[in-house]
């Protein structure tokens, strides 16, 4: 089956630890995105990547880092510099530059204790 | 900042048409309107998008006013599985790329 996978579904970490969230897609999409969602709110863009080995900051990139070494993978690291990391994190991908029909993964709920 | 305004919640009876309004009074001429929905704690799902003309697909219809300051998403025969948060989104140009600007959405509850 084609799609986007995120793992794990739930993640717990202690304050001050870095944590990396996984995002993999087998849709052959060029662009990939990371969003953050807080309760009762819409999605906010953290980082995005249009092609391999290139990525751009979104609206709330501080305290996060990404890499795009392979087309299929776009991992997100939540660093200890992120002041309020507890949130629902969503990864998405899309094909082509002229559409914004983004396909989303199931999300990872990160809780920092 | 979000470029759209939606009611926080709405109810609709099963089998009826659900009409979800959205205001986007500051939209620019080349900015598209997108609709996604999110069932509780899942990833959002694309529904439909449009620029000026009304659009229809197998999921919904999108009606955009002539001045483009507002739009309505129509689910023609709502079912219980349509209960979700519906997001009206404007796609804005950011440098050489585009970005979807998400608001808080409308929580649609379909009642039996």
Residue of B34, B38, B43 to mutate, testing the A interface (most A Cβ within 10 Å of its Cβ): B43
Residues in chain A with CB shorter than 8 Å from the CB of B97 are 48, 50, 56, 97
Pull the structure tokens for residue B75.
């689910």
pLDDT in tens, A68-79: 999 999 999 999
- Count the Cβ atoms, other than its own, within 10 Å of residue B11: 11
* Residue B57 in contact with partner chain A when CB distance is under 8 A: no
Rg (CA), chain A: 13
Per DSSP, what are the bridge partners of residue B11?
B109
pLDDT in tens, B16-73: 999 999 999 999 888 999 999 999 889 999 999 999 989 999 999 999 999 999 999 9
User: How many degrees, rounded to 5, is the angle at CA B15 between CA B5 and CA B105?
Assistant: 15
Q: In whole angstroms, what is the distance from residue B94 CA to residue B21 CA?
A: 26
Is there a contact between B102 and A107 if contact means CB atoms under 8 Å apart? no
Tell me the average pLDDT across A16-30.
94
Residues in chain A with CB shorter than 8 Å from the CB of B42 are 106-107
Q: What's the mean pLDDT when you consider all of chain A?
A: 93
β-strand pairing of A10-13 with A108-112: parallel
Residues 5-34 of A with CB under 8 A from B: none
pLDDT on residue A99: 75
Q: Is the pLDDT of residue A1 over 70?
A: no
What 3-state class would DSSP assign to A42?
coil
pLDDT on residue A56: 94
pLDDT on residue B28: 87
pLDDT on residue B2: 65
Tell me the average pLDDT across B74-78.
96
CA atoms within 13 A on the CB side of A108: 28
Q: In whole angstroms, what is the distance from residue B27 CA to residue A32 CA?
A: 25
**What are the distances in angstroms from CA B43 to CA A30, B52, B93?**
19, 27, 24
Q: Which of A5-14, B30-39, B83-92, B96-105 has the lowest mean pLDDT?
A: B96-105
Chain A nearest CA to B103, separation (Å): 5
Proportion of chain B in helix, strand, coil states, percent, rounded to 5? 5, 55, 45
Closest CA to A19 of A61, A64, A62: A64
């Amino acid at each position: 089956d084609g799609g986007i996978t995120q793992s794990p579904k739930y993640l717990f970490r202690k304050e001050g630890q870095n944590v990396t969230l996984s995002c993999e897609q087998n849709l052959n999409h060029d662009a990939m995105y990371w969003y953050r969602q807080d309760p009762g709110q819409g999605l906010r863009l953290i980082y995005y990547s249009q092609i391999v080995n290139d990525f751009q900051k979104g609206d709330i990139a501080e305290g996060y880092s990404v890499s795009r070494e392979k087309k299929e993978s776009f991992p997100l690291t939540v660093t200890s510099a992120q002041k309020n990391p507890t949130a629902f994190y969503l990864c998405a991908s899309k094909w082509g530059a002229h559409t914004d029909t983004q396909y989303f993964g199931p999300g990872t709920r990160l809780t920092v204790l | 900042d979000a470029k759209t305004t939606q009611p926080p919640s709405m109810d609709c009876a099963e089998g009826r048409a659900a009409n979800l309004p959205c205001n986007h009074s500051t939209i620019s001429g080349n900015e598209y309107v997108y609709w996604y929905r999110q069932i509780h704690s899942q990833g959002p799902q694309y529904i439909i998008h449009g620029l000026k003309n009304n659009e229809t697909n197998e999921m919904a219809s999108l009606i955009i006013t002539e001045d483009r300051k507002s739009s309505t998403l129509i689910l023609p025969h709502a079912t219980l599985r349509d209960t979700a948060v519906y997001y009206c989104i404007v796609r804005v140009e950011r440098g050489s790329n585009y970005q979807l600007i998400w608001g808080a959405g409308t929580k649609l509850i379909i009642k039996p």
